[in-house]
Amino acid sequence: MSKEALKKQALKTIDEKADEIKKIGDDLWKIPEVGYREYKTAEYVETQYAQMGWHYQDKLALTGSKAYLKPKKHTPTIAIVGELDSLDIPTHPEADPKTGWVHACGHHAQVTAMLGTGFGLDAVKEELDGNVALLAVPAEELIQMGFRNSLREEKKITFMGGKQEFIHIGAMNDIDLTIGSHSSGSLKGARLGTGGTENGFIAKLVKYKGMEAHAGDHPDEGINALNAAMLGIMGAHANRETFRDEDHIRFHPIITKGGEIVNNVPAEVNMESFVRGATVESIKNANKKVNNALRAGAMAVGASVEIIDVPGYMPYHRDPWLDAVLRENCLQLEERVPIGGHSCGSTDLGDFSCIHPTTSLEMGGITGNHHHRTYQIVDKETLYVLPAKALALTVIDLLYDGASKAKEIKEKFNPVIPRDEYTKFMERLVD
């Protein structure tokens, strides 16, 4: 069959299943779960794999899974990624009333588009070389660091991000190229977007220890850990003018514990933060300054501080050749496909992008801001169905004709980190 005929067939299949795909999006929206806790979501996704008769592995990095459209012997393998996790934003009107969890970053739409892509490609897979793996990955949002650190201490995970963990456990060893997706509020009326880069970061847990004492009677006997933390934050602020514009540094701490009882001097204060930047070098430099400032806060009042730095995500660079194929296919569906600039946000697709060619699709269909109470889905065709089409067409291009395009892109790629050195490389980041 010609490539154009295969593309037509895939589009037809996705159109026929459009209602089913939208229902998946609706269903997933209703079961938001935060990272490394996506048990219901995982079960839902795996039920879909089973219904399609796809062979799959489950419980990867606790809740992740990987389904193959064809037997594993077919290579190269292109992974389509869907992130399983939601956010915790209790102020969102549609947040789960019990947990406060909500898909205000739209990751449920990625999983929906991933499954829709699988449906479309399943209809033409025998005509394609190579293989397609659907990757349902946990924990993209690096939140609830205390909980994740306890998972690390229990040796249930090594990394706080799901894709990092996928690399670490070897789940990416048989993947040659990766394509992700993300909803976007910056498409200015367009329905699909491509291109752009993102910051990477180091994550940190900060624990200030002081001494409790009666806050009214004997503050002289106390050591105020909250004052230490506030001075630490102020010290970091005093460094901001030293951060170069082009490095896009971000430091945005939260205090997760601010003391014990109101009539005592706070004895223990816990913070979480990232230090983000556009390059590994700039992140490391800024991180050093931030840590000095945080320590100075403790020193100023005689408290102590423990800083636990953990590897965050690598800066994200889309593979230009893979992105070009994605873009070409978006333009077959839409007249206007904006190209993204640099985002100071981060994604663990950045880590994938260091080990093999990676890109991702930006999808419209939402209104409001990400991570915000205004985030809403307004166009399910655009958010759930159209991305499946763009991704399916892209994969057909890559795997047609002996998978020549996929092989060529793989050949041209220069890894920032050799895959088998990933864990060591990341651990060295926070030495």
Give the residues lining the site for Zn ion (CB under 5 A).
105
Q: With 0-12 CB in 10 A as exposed, 13-18 as middle and 19+ as buried, what is 149?
A: middle
Closer residue to Zn ion (CB): 84 or 133: 84
Closer residue to Zn ion (CB): 91 or 292: 91
Q: Which residue type, as a one-letter code, is found at position 339? A: I
Closer residue to Zn ion (CB): 291 or 347: 347
CA dihedral 384, 387, 391, 392 (to 10 degrees): 60
Half-sphere exposure of 172 (CA within 13 A, CB side): 29
CB of 405 to Zn ion, least distance (A): 28
Using alpha carbons only, give the angle 108, 113, 119 rounded to the nearest 5 degrees.
130
Closer residue to Zn ion (CB): 184 or 227: 184
Assign 238 to helix, strand or coil: coil
CB of 345 to Zn ion, least distance (A): 7
As given in the structure block, the two tokens for residue 197 are 């880069």
Comparing every residue's Cβ against Zn ion, the nearest one is 105
In this structure, are residues 208 and 304 in contact, taking their beta carbons and an 8 Å threshold? yes
CB of 33 to Zn ion, least distance (A): 14
Closer residue to Zn ion (CB): 105 or 132: 105
Query: CA-to-CA distance for 429 and 140, rounded, in angstroms?
Result: 19
CB of 249 to Zn ion, least distance (A): 19
In this structure, are residues 91 and 101 in contact, taking their beta carbons and an 8 Å threshold? no
Please confirm whether the linkage preceding 76 is cis (ω < 30° from 0).
Answer: yes
- Look-up: residue for tokens 């491509």? 194
Closer residue to Zn ion (CB): 90 or 418: 90
β-strands 304-311, 268-277 pairing = unpaired
In this structure, are residues 183 and 366 in contact, taking their beta carbons and an 8 Å threshold? yes
In this structure, are residues 349 and 362 in contact, taking their beta carbons and an 8 Å threshold? no
Helices marked H in 246-379: 280-301, 320-333, 349-355
List phi, psi (to 5°) of 120.
-65, -40
In this structure, are residues 388 and 111 in contact, taking their beta carbons and an 8 Å threshold? no
Query: CA-to-CA distance for 167 and 110, rounded, in angstroms?
Result: 20
Closer residue to Zn ion (CB): 212 or 362: 362
CB of 144 to Zn ion, least distance (A): 13
CB of 88 to Zn ion, least distance (A): 11
What's the DSSP call for residue 37?
Answer: -
Assign 328 to helix, strand or coil: helix
CB of 347 to Zn ion, least distance (A): 7
CB of 206 to Zn ion, least distance (A): 22
In this structure, are residues 148 and 272 in contact, taking their beta carbons and an 8 Å threshold? no
Closer residue to Zn ion (CB): 143 or 223: 143
CB of 370 to Zn ion, least distance (A): 6
As given in the structure block, the two tokens for residue 340 are 């993204």
CB of 187 to Zn ion, least distance (A): 15
Closer residue to Zn ion (CB): 105 or 403: 105
Closer residue to Zn ion (CB): 376 or 423: 376
